[in-house]
C-alpha cells in the first residue's frame, strides 16, 4: 500500500514538473516575441532600408531598387545607362516609329545569325529622343569615354545646363527654387516625390541604384528638372561613408576626377551636380576647384545644398565664373509640418527681398506633403516656383 502511494506521488511529481517545463517554454516564447517581434515577412521593411541608408551608401551601391516597387509599364523608359553606356530601353510602338523615321534600319543579313544575340552582347549606342518627346538624352551632348558616356558641350555650343533646363514663366515675380534630394534610393519615396510634387520642384538623384535612369526619365517626363548628387567627403568620414566613389580632399585631383566621371556616367538628362554630404570636401578650395572647373567645361552647373557651414563653393565658383547656385536654408532639418511651413515662409521673405531664393529638402513624406500644399497657393502670393537653373548666378532667363 505504501509502495502504491509512493508510486502515485512520484507520478504526480513528474506530471507537475512536465507542466512546469511546458509553461516556462510557452512563457519564454511569448517573451521573445514581445521583445524581438516575429520573424520578418517578405513585406516587412528591414530597419536598414529606411531613410538612414543615405549614410551607409557603400552598402547600397551594389543593391538595385526593387523593380517590383512599381509596374514597368508606368515608367516610360526611353534611355537606360548600364555599365557599358547608353542603350535603348523598351519603347512604345509610337516611339519606335519615331525612332525609325530618324535612324535608317540596319541592312538585312545575307545569312541568318548562328545564334540569337543577347542584350548583354549588344553594343552600347546613343539614340536621339523620340520626335516631339522631351529631351532625356541628346547624343550631341554625350561624349563616349573609357569611364562611360559623359555630358559635354555640343559642337555648336549647347550646354546640358540649357538643353535639359525646364522652362520658367517670364516676368519679374520673385522666384523660389526647391531641390529635393535622396531620390533613387528608396523606390517608394522616389515614386512619391516624382508623382506628387509639382513640376517646378527640382529633383536630385543619388547615383547608386542600377535602375536610377528609369526614375530620371520618368521625372523628366513629369516636367521636373534633375540634378545629380555626387558623393563628397563629410567631416565624420569614414563613420559616414558615401561609398567608394566619394570625392575626398586627400586622394588628389586625378583620382577625384576619375570618381566624378563614374557619377557623371550613371545617368543623363541633368542640368548639373549637387553634393551628397560633403562638408569637409566643400571646405577645401584646392580640392573643389578642379571639380567645378570640370563641371563648367562639361556645361553643367553646381548647386551647393547648404549643408556645409564652411563651404567655399560660392567663392570658388565666383573666381572661375562657373554656373552656381546655393541653398539659403534646409527646409526639413526638423521633420515636422509646422517647422517646414516656417522654413518655406522664410524662403518667401528671402525671395521678396533679393528676387530669388533656394531651399533644400529630403524625400521625407512630410516634406513632400508640405511642399505640395505650399506650392498650390504660391502664385497667388506673387511668387514663381522655379527650377534651380532659373536662379543660377550669372544666368539670365
Dump the DSSP string for 89-134: ----HHHHHHHHHHSPPPPPPSS--SSPPPGGGSPP---PPPTTS-
Q: For residue range 253-292, list pLDDT tens digits in order.
A: 999 999 999 999 999 999 999 999 999 999 999 999 999 9
Is residue 31 domain-resident?
no
Q: Is the N-terminal amide bond of 301 cis, ω within 30° of 0?
A: no
Distance CA 76, CA 223 (A): 13
pLDDT of residue 8: 55
**pLDDT mean values, one per 10 residues, the chain (397 residues):** 52 55 46 35 31 36 37 34 35 45 42 42 36 62 90 93 91 96 94 95 95 91 96 93 93 96 95 96 97 98 95 96 97 96 98 97 97 96 97 64
The set of residues, in sequence order, having a beta carbon less than 8 Å from that of 258 and lying 6+ positions away, is 147
Q: For residue range 355-394, list pLDDT tens digits in order.
A: 999 999 999 999 999 999 999 999 999 999 999 999 997 5
pLDDT of residue 13: 54
Structural domain count, the chain: 1
Distance CA 232, CA 305 (A): 12
Is residue 98 domain-resident?
no
pLDDT of residue 393: 77
Is residue 115 domain-resident?
no
Is residue 7 domain-resident?
no
Q: Angle at CA 214, nearest 5°, toward 373 and 77?
A: 110
pLDDT of residue 137: 75
Q: For residue range 217-248, list pLDDT tens digits in order.
A: 999 999 999 999 999 999 999 898 888 999 99
Is residue 106 domain-resident?
no
pLDDT of residue 119: 36
- Residue among 327, 328, 269, 343 at smallest CA distance from 300: 269
Whether 311 and 283 have beta carbons less than 8 Å apart is answered as: yes
Distance CA 135, CA 14 (A): 81
pLDDT of residue 12: 56
Residue 324: domain span: 68-87+123-391
pLDDT of residue 397: 41
Distance CA 279, CA 311 (A): 7
Q: Identify the CATH number of the domain in which residue 136 sits.
A: 3.20.20.370
Is residue 168 domain-resident?
yes
Is residue 16 domain-resident?
no
Dump the DSSP string for 129-189: PPTTS--S--GGGEEEETTEEEE---TT---HHHHTPPP---SSS-EEEEEEEEETT-HHH
Predicted model pTM: 0.69
Amino acid at each position: 500500500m505504501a509502495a502504491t502511494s509512493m508510486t502515485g506521488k512520484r507520478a504526480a511529481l513528474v506530471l507537475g514538473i512536465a507542466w512546469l517545463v511546458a509553461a516556462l517554454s510557452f512563457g519564454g516564447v511569448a517573451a521573445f516575441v514581445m521583445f524581438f517581434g516575429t520573424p520578418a515577412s517578405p513585406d516587412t521593411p528591414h530597419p536598414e532600408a529606411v531613410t538612414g541608408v543615405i549614410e551607409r551608401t557603400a552598402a547600397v551601391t551594389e543593391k538595385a531598387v526593387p523593380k517590383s516597387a512599381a509596374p514597368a509599364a508606368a515608367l516610360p523608359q526611353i534611355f537606360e545607362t548600364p555599365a557599358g553606356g547608353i542603350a535603348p530601353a523598351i519603347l512604345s510602338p509610337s516611339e519606335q516609329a519615331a525612332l525609325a523615321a530618324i535612324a535608317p534600319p540596319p541592312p538585312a543579313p545575307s545569312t541568318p545569325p548562328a545564334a540569337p544575340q543577347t542584350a548583354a552582347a549588344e553594343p552600347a549606342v546613343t539614340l536621339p529622343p523620340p520626335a516631339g518627346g522631351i529631351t532625356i538624352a541628346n547624343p550631341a551632348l554625350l561624349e563616349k569615354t573609357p569611364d562611360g558616356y559623359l555630358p559635354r558641350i555640343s559642337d555648336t555650343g549647347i550646354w546640358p545646363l540649357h538643353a535639359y533646363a525646364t522652362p520658367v514663366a517670364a516676368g519679374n515675380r520673385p522666384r523660389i527654387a526647391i531641390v529635393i534630394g535622396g531620390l533613387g534610393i528608396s523606390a517608394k519615396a522616389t515614386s512619391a516625390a516624382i508623382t506628387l510634387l509639382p513640376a517646378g520642384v527640382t529633383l536630385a538623384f543619388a547615383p547608386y541604384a542600377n535602375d536610377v535612369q528609369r526614375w530620371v526619365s520618368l521625372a523628366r517626363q513629369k516636367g521636373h528638372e534633375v540634378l545629380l548628387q555626387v558623393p563628397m567627403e563629410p567631416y565624420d568620414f569614414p563613420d559616414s561613408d558615401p561609398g567608394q566613389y566619394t570625392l575626398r580632399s586627400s586622394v588628389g585631383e586625378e583620382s577625384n576626377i576619375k570618381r566624378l566621371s563614374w557619377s557623371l556616367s550613371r545617368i543623363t538628362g541633368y542640368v548639373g551636380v549637387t553634393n551628397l554630404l560633403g562638408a569637409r570636401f566643400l571646405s577645401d578650395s584646392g580640392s573643389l576647384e578642379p571639380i567645378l572647373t570640370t563641371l563648367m567645361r562639361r556645361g553643367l552647373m553646381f548647386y551647393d545644398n547648404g549643408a556645409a557651414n564652411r563651404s567655399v563653393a560660392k567663392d570658388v565658383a565666383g573666381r572661375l565664373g562657373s554656373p552656381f547656385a546655393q541653398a539659403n536654408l534646409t527646409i526639413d532639418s526638423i521633420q515636422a509640418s509646422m517647422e517646414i511651413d516656417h522654413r518655406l515662409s522664410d524662403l518667401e521673405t528671402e525671395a521678396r527681398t533679393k528676387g530669388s531664393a533656394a531651399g533644400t529638402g529630403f524625400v521625407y513624406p512630410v516634406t513632400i506633403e508640405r511642399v505640395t500644399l505650399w506650392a498650390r497657393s504660391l502664385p497667388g502670393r506673387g511668387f514663381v516656383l522655379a527650377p534651380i537653373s532659373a536662379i543660377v548666378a550669372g544666368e539670365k532667363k
